[in-house]
Amino acid sequence: MSSSAERVIAVVGAGPRGTSFLERLLAHIEQIAPNDRPRLRIKVFDPAPHGPGKVWNPEQSPLYLMNTPASYPTAAPTGETQEALPASSCSMSFMDYATLNGLKYDDADFPARAHYGHYLAWLSKEVSARLRGRGAAVEHIAAEVTALRQHQCGYRMQTEGSWHQADAVVLALGHLAAEPSGPSGRLARTAAEAGLHYQGAAIPTDVDYDDFPAAENVLVRGMGLNFFDLLIQLTVGRGGQFEEHHDAGPGSRYDYLPSGREPVIIAGARRGTPYRAKTTAKGVVPAVVELEHLTQQRIDQLLEQRTQLDFVENLWPLIQADALVVYRRAGGTDAAFDVDDYAHPFAHRTFTSHADYQQQMRSWLVEDATSAQAAERSPEKMALNAVHAARLRIKPLLTQGLITAASRLHDVEGWFESLIEGLASGPPLQRIEELAALVRAGVVEFLGPDPVYGVDRKDGRFIADSAAVAGARYTAQHMVEAMMPPNRITQAGSPLVTDMLSSGLARPASFDVDSETHVHKGFDVSGQPYRLLDCQGQPVGGVYVLGLQLSSVQWGTAIAAEAGGEAHVTAQTLADADAVARDLLEQLTD
């Protein structure tokens, strides 16, 4: 045995990232001869269910759907991913688990989030049992870590009423509550002073939907994925039903039969439209989509001429060219396909009345449903998937620091990220069909592009309108920010993160651009395996970061790794967990 002393690993966060770390640790331990394995004690901390964490809690509403098809997600390497990352004795994807447990999903179905939570709970339990069978002690502690301190040669962590010692710490914190700031913070304070009900950005399972009375207006800001969760809870979750018509055309698949308990949902977003539906074409990137301009060869040629790339100058023209090529190959007849114009269909337009805008939105929903249903035959959806394919190719460039800090902040994160999220990361087609039915039933109305929200102090009500829609102003006593909390550690409502920043154990990442320092969203970390850096920029030995708080070195927040995906592209979360597990074992057994 390389070391007779027991070494303690603390995993803070028992959701998918923490669970993937445990599975990767198991895989590497299983490659060590039994007599050479280190003595390990693994303490896993999370007040939420271990495995699924809060977001994927198996007890959540069965109405919530995943945003990826059943064949996609995994928290352990399977298929071709195992060529780069060693399998453990319980490496299994969600679809493998679903098949073994009698869950009736086809590859293209969008599963209930609760079912994915059951898979993660199973994986956590199975990995823990197999770690114990290979000599490691595993403790699952249902408590929140509120402080982390360096102590002697290791660390002490505080939970309610207790301190815990560890030699190494893996921070897999996931989504954190956040304090509202900026315009949202001011609106929240004004609403509180007026006695109004304001629901800030939150994980959907943290929202109490019973707080929204039947038949009353509810203002909603944001029409992304959280918006569709809100819709289903305030309609079907209150006893309403969708009646399906199998022979109806796109956009008319359902009629909604109200329960009478629904509020009136007044929805707004900057574009004036919800996220577009995902195509029904198979694959993360449909087979008909091939990048001819943004190729790896072309990227390599660009990097031979410069050390870093500018997104707008070097990459965006290639992305636009690929979108046009794919658009035409799929049958598009227009001379050009402008991605930005397609993303903002109502830009620079005005509407004569509220009724005019509602009719335009009903037509938009039918158009989007038609395009999604057409699969590979939709020139627009295939063009958008070309942009999505480009996003996958750009992610490693950001991770490797091959795009300038200025272009990353101003371009990639400044406008491209939100552009592609709204175009290629939307809900399944089913949700757009349901929304169209709710609009026809009068349950949902739309504000218009670039809506403005405020509080009328005199009347004691929220107000909202859009300058693009003549004569339309809404008032309400209830408002929802239909979005996830901002993934920004300086806003986090986490006692642990606050403690780490105030003590100097951690600092936010920052970028120097044009003689100014820009504080970024995530922790400052080293390169992979992502060791935490302290307030002086020095590595904190034995403390690693996984997941959302790696936004300083990664771009985008993947729901899960792709089953069989490339380790450093669509299965990056597994590659990260693997790198930490491998490095940690090397450090503890030196």
Q: How far apart are CA 124 and CA 218, in angstroms?
A: 39
Percent of the chain with pLDDT over 90: 92
Mean pLDDT for the stretch of residues 128-157: 96
DSSP conformation letters of 26-69 = HHHHTTS-GGG---EEEEEE-SSPTTTTTTT-TTS-TT-B-SS-
Nearest to 468 by CA among 309, 281, 270: 270
Nearest to 385 by CA among 275, 284, 297: 284
Q: pLDDT category, 165, cuts 50, 70, 90?
A: very high
**Does domain 7-177+488-589 correspond to CATH entry 3.50.50.60?**
yes
Query: Domain spans of the chain?
Result: 7-177+488-589, 182-275+429-481, 296-424
Which residues have C-beta within 8 Å of that of residue 431, sequence separation ≥ 6? Answer: 65, 228, 231, 232, 277
Give the type of residue at 422.
G
**515 has pLDDT over 60:** yes
Mean pLDDT for the stretch of residues 547-572: 88
Q: How far apart are CA 187 and CA 455, in angstroms?
A: 7
Q: pLDDT category, 1, cuts 50, 70, 90?
A: very low
**550 has pLDDT over 50:** yes
**590 has pLDDT over 80:** no
Domains 7-177+488-589 and 182-275+429-481 share a fold: yes
Q: How far is CA 472 from CA 351, 447, 452, 468, 479, in A?
A: 10, 8, 12, 9, 17
**Does domain 182-275+429-481 correspond to CATH entry 3.50.50.60?**
yes
Q: What is the DSSP letter of 253?
A: S
Model's pTM, two decimal places?
0.95
CB of 9 closer than 8 Å to CB of 168: yes
Nearest to 454 by CA among 179, 181, 190: 190
Which residues have C-beta within 8 Å of that of residue 317, sequence separation ≥ 6? Answer: none
**556 has pLDDT over 80:** no
DSSP conformation letters of 254-303 = EEEE--S---EEEEE-TTSSPPPPPPSSSSSS-TT---SSS-HHHHHHHH
Q: pLDDT category, 559, cuts 50, 70, 90?
A: confident
CB of 443 closer than 8 Å to CB of 265: yes
Q: How far apart are CA 449 and CA 272, in angstroms?
A: 4
Mean pLDDT for the stretch of residues 476-499: 95
CB of 462 closer than 8 Å to CB of 453: yes
Q: What is the pLDDT of residue 536?
A: 97
Q: What is the pLDDT of residue 2?
A: 45
Q: How far apart are CA 161 and CA 404, in angstroms?
A: 46
Q: What is the pLDDT of residue 589?
A: 80
**551 has pLDDT over 60:** yes
- What is the residue-averaged pLDDT of the chain? 95
Nearest to 7 by CA among 38, 36, 29: 38
**123 has pLDDT over 50:** yes
Which residues have C-beta within 8 Å of that of residue 271, sequence separation ≥ 6? Answer: 343, 344, 345, 346, 422, 449
Mean pLDDT for the stretch of residues 300-322: 97
